[in-house]
């Protein structure tokens, strides 16, 4: 009996070690998406009144947990029953991300404003939350699929444990950082009120830097839509991806990684432009026949 119990405990310890190792590998693989996720979500929260920032972050984080609660079992079932369906679904999600990025750029440069500008703050906040949760769903799907690729040959318990661990780590990490970023100005004001000169200097520096950080995150968030979406689309078309990757490695091996990021961005811009053109053409045709 004692020997059996020791063997069982040893098996559990081995399984947990395997889960920890695979989780560490998955974190490294998804680190790039984590950065994009952070930039996109911080951008979505920017501009909300100070008293609503943390409640909005909390609601988006809750939505993100729900997203992952749907995606983890869905990914496991798809991997078991229809493994070939994952890539097309990811491509659709990537194309939608590119579409959102292209729309934001068009609205910015063509000054396309909503005809109804008198939208109350609650509606604006709800729209931002829905947009953030929708974007999170696509990025979370990519994180889950990348993680699933890391543990594809592992037992089901290891797959489930690693996916759940990554889902929780990414949600807490991303939205914890987002909450910290949107509250930077409050930290600066608090430091300004301290009697110590060093604290006041730091507080003043934080207040001056915070608007620039927010502007950077706005730009980075839009760029991330094209980079992540374009990367998903490009990786989903193996022939095109391998051709571009091969030519880059042959012509400029020293900056291959940088050029691949550029290629993802170009693919994202082209995809976004095509989807916007298709959507607008569809709207025009529908208007003619209705």
Cβ-based burial of 264 (10 A; exposed 0-12, middle 13-18, buried ≥19) = buried
- Round the average pLDDT of the chain to a whole number and report it: 77
Give CA–CA dist 109/16, Å, rounded: 52
Q: Given this model, what pLDDT does residue 210 score?
A: 78
Q: Is the pLDDT of residue 21 over 90?
A: no
What 106-113 contacts at long range (C-beta under 8 Å, 24+ apart), as own/partner pairs, is 106/276
CA–CA separation, 28 and 35 (whole Å): 12
pLDDT reported for residue 12: 46
pLDDT at 233 over 80: yes
Query: Residue 243 corresponds to which tokens in the numbers above?
Result: 């051709």
pLDDT in tens, 204-221: 888 888 778 777 777 777
Q: Residue 40's pLDDT band (boundaries 50, 70, 90)?
A: low
Whose CA is closest to 267, among 231, 236, 237? 231
Higher pLDDT, residue 181 or 118? 181
d(CA 54, CA 179) in angstroms, rounded, equals 6
The H-assigned helical ranges of 110-255 are 121-150, 156-182, 184-192, 197-235, 238-251
Element containing residue 42 per DSSP (H, E): helix 31-45
pLDDT of residue 285 exceeding 70, the answer is yes
pLDDT at residue 155, rounded to an integer: 80
Question: According to the model, what pLDDT value does residue 269 have?
Answer: 93
Q: What percent of the chain has pLDDT over 90?
A: 9
> Given this model, what pLDDT does residue 36 score?
57
Reported as a pLDDT band with limits 50, 70 and 90, residue 14 is low
Q: How far apart are CA 140 and CA 146, in angstroms?
A: 10
Structure confidence by residue, pLDDT tens digits, 52-83? 778 888 888 899 899 999 988 988 888 888 87
Can you give the pLDDT at residue 205?
Answer: 86
Q: How far apart are CA 211 and CA 75, in angstroms?
A: 39
Q: Of 110 and 227, which is predicted with more confidence?
A: 227
Average pLDDT over residues 144-173: 81
Enter the pTM of the model: 0.65
Rounded to an integer, the average pLDDT of 101-114 is: 71
How many CB atoms are closer than 10 A to CB 227?
28
Percent of the chain beyond pLDDT 70? Answer: 77
Question: HEC states along 202-220?
Answer: HHHHHHHHHHHHHHHHHHH
275 with 99: CB under 8 angstroms? Answer: yes
């Amino acid at each position: 009996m004692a020997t059996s119990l020791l063997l069982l405990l040893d098996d559990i310890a081995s399984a947990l070690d395997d889960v920890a190792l695979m989780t560490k590998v998955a974190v490294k693989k998804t680190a790039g998406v984590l950065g994009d996720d952070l930039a996109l979500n911080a951008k979505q929260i920017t501009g909300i009144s100070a008293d609503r920032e943390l409640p909005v972050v909390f609601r988006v984080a809750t939505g993100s947990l729900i997203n992952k609660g749907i995606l983890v079992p869905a990914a496991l079932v798809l991997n078991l029953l229809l493994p070939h369906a994952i890539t097309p679904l990811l491509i659709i999600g990537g194309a939608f991300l590119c579409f959102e990025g292209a729309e934001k750029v068009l609205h910015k440069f063509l000054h396309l404003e909503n005809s109804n500008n008198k939208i109350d703050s609650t509606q604006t906040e709800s729209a931002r939350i829905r947009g953030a949760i929708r974007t999170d769903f696509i990025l979370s799907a990519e994180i889950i699929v990348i993680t699933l690729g890391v543990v594809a040959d592992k037992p089901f318990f290891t797959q489930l444990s690693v996916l759940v661990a990554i889902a929780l780590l990414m949600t807490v990490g991303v939205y914890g950082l987002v909450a910290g970023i949107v509250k930077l100005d409050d930290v600066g004001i608090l430091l300004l009120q301290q009697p110590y000169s060093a604290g006041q200097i730091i507080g003043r520096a934080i207040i001056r830097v915070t608007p620039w950080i927010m502007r950077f995150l706005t730009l980075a968030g839009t760029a991330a839509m094209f980079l992540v979406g374009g990367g998903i689309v490009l990786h989903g078309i193996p022939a095109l991806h391998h051709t571009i990757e091969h030519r880059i490695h042959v012509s400029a091996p020293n900056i291959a990684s940088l050029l691949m990021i550029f290629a993802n961005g170009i693919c994202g811009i082209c995809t976004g432009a095509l989807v916007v053109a298709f959507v607008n053409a569809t709207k025009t045709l529908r208007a003619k026949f209705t």
